Every structure is written in C-alpha cells, then in structure tokens.
Amino acid sequence: MTESESDFIYRNWLLPHKSLIPPESVIALRNWYGIPAAVTLAVTGCETALGDPKLGGRLVPEAFNFGCVKAGSPNTPWGELACGTISVGGQRWWKWPTSWTGMAALGRLLKVGPGKKPGYYLDCIHREDWRAFTAMYYGASVPGYSTYHKRWVRLYNVFKNKLHDAGF
C-alpha cells in the first residue's frame, strides 16, 4: 500500500512534534485555497514549530493559531472563523475553536490576505518571492526578520524537496 501525502507529512514532521495540526488539513489548504503543502509547513514551522503544543507556545493548545495570526477585524475571511482572542506577550491573537478551523483560517489569510494588501500573500506564493512574503508576514522592520527569513526559506526548501523526492 502506498503512503498518502498526508500520512507522509504526519510521519515525517507532525508526529515528531506531537503536532495538533491535522495532517489532512495541510492537503486541504492546497485543495481549497491553492497553498502548496511546503508553504503551509514552512509558515507553521517558523511560527509554532509545526503546531507543537510545547515549542509552539500557548497559541497552539489554547487557540489553535498555528500561524501566529494577530487579531484584527472580525470582518475578514479568517477573522469570521474566530471564537475570540487570546493575549500572549502583550499582543492580541485570534483564537479558533478547533484545529481544523485554525488551519482553515490560516489558509484563508494566505489566500486573500493580508487585510491591508488583499491577495498579496498568494501572489508572492505563486511567484515564489519568499523575501516579499516573509517581509509582509513577519514584518521586515521587526527585530529578527533576517533570521526569520533565512529560516523560512531553509524550511520551505527542506519540505519542498523531501515532498518532491517522495513523489508528491
């Protein structure tokens, strides 16, 4: 029996982190929103250690916020799925009721966001412009941006290459 892509993702990356991310949701984000699995894994890898309930911080087990999505207008495609907010580190973050909802919200953000520049993330993804993507997602002026960008690109390449080598 051939291993499915979601089983491969689970075995290689999510299981070792005891991740709360449903592996099928990574594939669903590609199918629903056009977000490649390697992009979803790179975002969640950088932001919450692939949804690790310990390494990912309180946003993982308490809010299912695997992409560290800050709270804003509830009138966004991702905000409308929220069930409230959580305060961590002096910031307000979206809280979602389930891991699936949290992943769907992340997919919506990546497809149609950010709010101040609609469609920008998906455009960057299609062009594979990781500098522009990470500059907007993390913030080019935020301390640690250069390190974040390098880590994001490294993780993306690891995920993309390993998925490709496995036939996905």
CATH number assigned to the domain comprising residue 155: 1.10.530.10
Given CA atoms 163, 58, 71, 89 in this order, what sign does their dihedral have? negative
pLDDT digits 0-9 by tens, 84-110? 999 999 999 999 999 999 999 999 999
Taking the complete model, does pTM exceed 0.85, yes or no?
Answer: yes
Alpha-carbon radius of gyration of the chain: 15
- The model's pLDDT over 11-38, given as tens digits with 9 standing for 90+, comes to 999 999 999 999 999 999 999 999 999 9
What DSSP element (H or E) covers 3? Answer: none
- 140 occurs within a structural domain: yes
Q: In this structure, is residue 168 part of a structural domain?
A: no
The closest of 13, 40, 31 to 102, measured between CA atoms, is: 40
Residue 33 forms part of a structural domain: yes
Its domain, for residue 49, covers: 5-160
Scan for tokens 């790179």, then name that residue: 42
Pairwise CA distance, residues 52 & 89, whole Å:
18
pLDDT higher than threshold 90 for residue 78: yes
Asked whether residue 98 is domain-assigned, the answer is yes
Domain count across the chain: 1
